[in-house]
Amino acid sequence: MPWFVKIEKGLVDKPLFDKYVPDHKAYVQSLIEKGHQAKTGYWAQRGGGMLLFKAESMDEAAAIVAQDPLVQNGCVDYQLYEWRVVVE
């Protein structure tokens, strides 16, 4: 399964963003349990972050990202990429 990366930028103020963080973390945990090897985090400078996960295709990856509570609640703008690993 290839790796995919959602690079995101925050769109809302921190209190509204933080309201959806527990749901986002629970969603990422559900991805882990389904075998997507997901990892999530934020930039130290604040204002954005990244979700790294495996999916069968770009279509599946886009569907996964569309269900992220941060996306569904308009908290982030993002770009989705397939990441081609060169060295492991």
Residue 88 lies in a domain: no
Q: Do residues 38 and 51 touch, judged by C-beta distance below 8 A?
A: yes
Residue 14 lies in a domain: yes
Residue 88 pLDDT > 90: no
Residue 54 lies in a domain: yes
Q: Give the model confidence (pLDDT) of 21-77 as tens digits.
A: 999 999 999 999 999 999 999 988 877 899 999 999 999 999 999 999 999 999 999
CATH of residue 41: 3.30.70.1060
Distance CA 75, CA 77 (A): 7
Q: Which residues is 48 bridged to in the sheet?
A: 9
Which strand (E) or helix (H) includes residue 55?
none
pLDDT at position 69: 97
pLDDT at position 34: 98
Domain span at residue 40? 3-83
Domain count, the chain: 1
Q: Which residues is 42 bridged to in the sheet?
A: 49
